[in-house]
Amino acid sequence: MPKRKITIEVDKVRYRLLQVLTCGPYAPPSVEEVVGQLVDHAQQGVYRPGAWERAWLCQAFGDRLSKTSKWRTVSLKRSSADRSMNCNRRRGACSCS
């Protein structure tokens, strides 16, 4: 699957707070890799309903992602139209918004 690039700007204080997560023997070596790891955990919470990351996302964004909601996971199948990950929203069946 082709990758997409995003750019994130944070102020000095937030950068320093994220930089704390680079300390330790098993920590990512850079803030960029910390953010990448957070993104990876977030996407796992979207497509793995039983994962600990799902509870983390529910805490961060509300209970729309909880098991009891009608929220549906993102399909990892590539769309023939744009060859990108797609949500059931495109087919009118998504209740995640």
H or E stretch including 88? Answer: none
Q: Say what the pLDDT of residue 87 is.
A: 41
pLDDT at 91 over 90: no
Domain layout of the chain by residue ranges: 12-91
Nearest to 55 by CA among 75, 74, 69: 69
Q: Bridge-partner residues for 34, per DSSP?
A: none
> How far apart are alpha carbons 16 and 34 in whole angstroms?
12
Q: How far is CA 16 from CA 8, 27, 28, 38, 55, in A?
A: 15, 15, 14, 16, 26
pLDDT digits (tens, 9 = 90+) for 6-55: 999 999 999 999 999 999 899 999 999 999 999 999 999 888 878 899 88
Question: 89 versus 39: which is more confidently predicted?
Answer: 39
